[in-house]
Structure 1
Amino acid sequence: MSEQVSIYDQIEIEDFTFDEELQTFSYPCPCGDKFQISLGDLEDGENIAVCPSCSLMVEVIFEKEDLQDFIDQVS
C-alpha cells in the first residue's frame, strides 16, 4: 500500500532562497522553520521540499534549465 503524499503548496524555484555554500534552496514554512531541498536532489528529479520541524511539504516548480544558473554559481 503506497503512502499518499500531502503537498501543502506549490512554490516556484525563483521564490526560494539559494545558499551557495550549502547548495540548498529554502523557503519559509508556516511553522517558523524553512522548507529545504538540495540542488543535487533537484538535479536528480526530486521536487519535494520538506520542513524539518513539521510534516509539511511543498512541491518545487522548476524546469531543468532553471538549475543551470545555480550549478554555474557553485562550480
Structure 2
Amino acid sequence: MADDDQISIYDEIEIEDMTFDPNLQIYHYPCPCGDRFEIAIDSLRDGEEIAVCPSCSLMIRVIFDANDLVKEEPKQEQVKSEVKVQA
C-alpha cells in the first residue's frame, strides 16, 4: 500500500497464526465480527501485507518472511493415458 500512515490497522498477526486454504490460495484469520481476514498468497508474494475482512472495515498487517509462505506447486501437466482398445 502506498501510504501505511493513512491505514488503521486492527492488529498485527504472524503468518504462522493464519490458516492457508490451498483451494482458494488464501491465508485467513478470524475477525472479531465473525467473518475472517483474507489475503491471497500472490498478494503476499507481491509484497502486500494488509489482510482485509470482507464484512467489516477492519484490517490486519501480516507479519511474514517470504520464505515462510507455502511453496508454489508446479502446475501438473495433463498426462495422457494410453488405452488399449480391443477390436
Match of 2:44 in 1: 42
Alpha carbon RMSD of aligned pairs, Å? 1.4
Normalising by structure 2, we get a TM-score of 0.76
Structure 1: state its 5+ residue gaps. Answer: none
Percent identity between the two aligned chains: 61
Larger Cα-atom Rg: 2
Match of 1:5 in 2: 7
Higher strand share: 1
Could you list the structure 1 runs, at least 4 aligned residues long, displaced by more than 3 angstroms after superposition: none
Higher helix share: 1
Q: For the residues of structure 2 that align with 1:7 and 1:15, how far apart are their CA atoms? A: 17
User: Counterpart of 1:22 in 2: which secondary structure?
Assistant: coil
Structure 2: state its 5+ residue gaps. Answer: 75-87
